[in-house]
Amino acid sequence: MAAIDLATVHAVVFDTDGVVTDTARVHAAAWKHVFDAFLRGRSAPFDVRDDYLRHVDGRPRLDGVRTFLASRGITLPEGSPDDGPDAATVHGLGLAKDALFVAEIGRHGVAAFPSTVALLHELRRRGCRTAVVSASRHCRALVASAGLTHLFDVTVDGVDSARLGLAGKPDPALFLEAARRLGEPAGRTAVVEDALPGVEAGRRGGFALVVGVDRSGERAAALRAAGAGVVVEDLAELSVTGRVPHAGTGDGETRRSTVGSGEQEGRS
């Protein structure tokens, strides 16, 4: 059975969409709606699996627009954040997608993957620090909506990325910033990712272990080629070894004072 060995790994950084929260499909559906409307009469429709996974998944929103359109040989003006969601610009398409995503989450809420929650509890029970990372500006709201804020010491999201000038995946900057805030070097930190750019970022960052999550059961080879040392279809397949649970601690709820200080750090 694949394992995170806490004899060598002292912290774990989790991607958000598709790893912690079941929101990747909501992102993909929003992208399809926006791109299909734009592509009508120009190109074939957006493929919610292939195009999403190849060109959009794991990337900052505007990079996803640029990368997908480039795959179709289409170039648009950048525009500006002041563009409306109906503008035929990179910012306009990005804003249209964001509005759809926020509306959908507002209507239906956010669900967490039970196996991820169980893994987080086990890691924290054994004294392992944890972080959650996303290129999305909505990361904190998504994690809070899923009721998981107390299980992470640190959050690094799109707000932090913009403020600090961090490059998007496959650059490892987001993951390295999370490890820095956790107080651990990359060589003692694991990354858990489901997107190819994120797995590549973990490899490029020199992390101790990169776990690729292949929920479709169809991308194991691609995830390994991108740099995953371990690939699982669900995090229930991943065990935790190498450190005895702290005496007298529970599943993370009893470490609320530590978590509170870490969350404050994540908002700096």
> H-helix or E-strand containing 11?
strand 11-15
> H-helix or E-strand containing 261?
helix 256-266
Q: Could you report the per-residue pLDDT of 13-53, keeping only the tens digit for each?
A: 999 999 999 998 899 999 999 999 999 999 999 999 899 98
Residue 71's pLDDT is what? 97
Q: What is the DSSP code (8-state) at residue 83?
A: S
Q: Taking 80 as the threshold, does the pLDDT of residue 253 lie above it?
A: no
Residue 162's pLDDT is what? 92
Written as one letter, the residue type at 166 is L
Asked if 15 is an active-site residue, the reply is yes
Gyration radius of the chain over CA positions? 18
Q: What is the mean pLDDT of residues 185-207?
A: 97
- Which is more confidently placed, 189 or 60? 189
Q: What share of the chain is helix, strand, coil (3-state, %, to 5)?
A: 50, 15, 40
**Pair 230, 192: CB distance under 8 Å:** no
Alpha-carbon 200 to chain mean position: 13
Residue 247's pLDDT is what? 57
Enumerate residues 6+ apart whose C-beta is below 8 A from 165: none
Residue 87's pLDDT is what? 96
Catalytic residue selected from 5, 15, 82, 194: 15
Catalytic residue selected from 5, 17, 57, 83: 17
Written as one letter, the residue type at 198 is G
- Catalogue all structural domains in the chain, each as residue range(s) with its CATH number: 3-22+111-241 (3.40.50.1000), 24-108 (1.10.150)
Asked if 17 is an active-site residue, the reply is yes
Q: Taking 70 as the threshold, does the pLDDT of residue 252 lie above it?
A: no
Q: Which two tokens stand for residue 77?
A: 């003006």
Q: What is the DSSP code (8-state) at residue 253?
A: G
Q: Could you report the per-residue pLDDT of 65-114, keeping only the tens digit for each?
A: 999 999 999 999 999 999 999 999 999 999 999 999 999 998 988 999 99
- According to DSSP, the residues that pair with 189 across neighbouring strands are 11
Task: Determine the number of helices (DSSP H) and then strands (DSSP E) in the chain.
Answer: 11, 8
Q: Which two tokens stand for residue 114?
A: 């039970």
Q: Which pLDDT band holds residue 262 (cuts at 50, 70, 90)?
A: very low
Strand ranges for 100-232 from DSSP E: 129-133, 154-156, 189-193, 209-213, 230-232
Give CA–CA dist 182/154, Å, rounded: 7
pTM: 0.82
Residue 102's pLDDT is what? 92
Give CA–CA dist 227/222, Å, rounded: 9
Nearest in space to 154 (alpha carbons), one of 173, 115, 180: 180
Q: Which pLDDT band holds residue 246 (cuts at 50, 70, 90)?
A: low
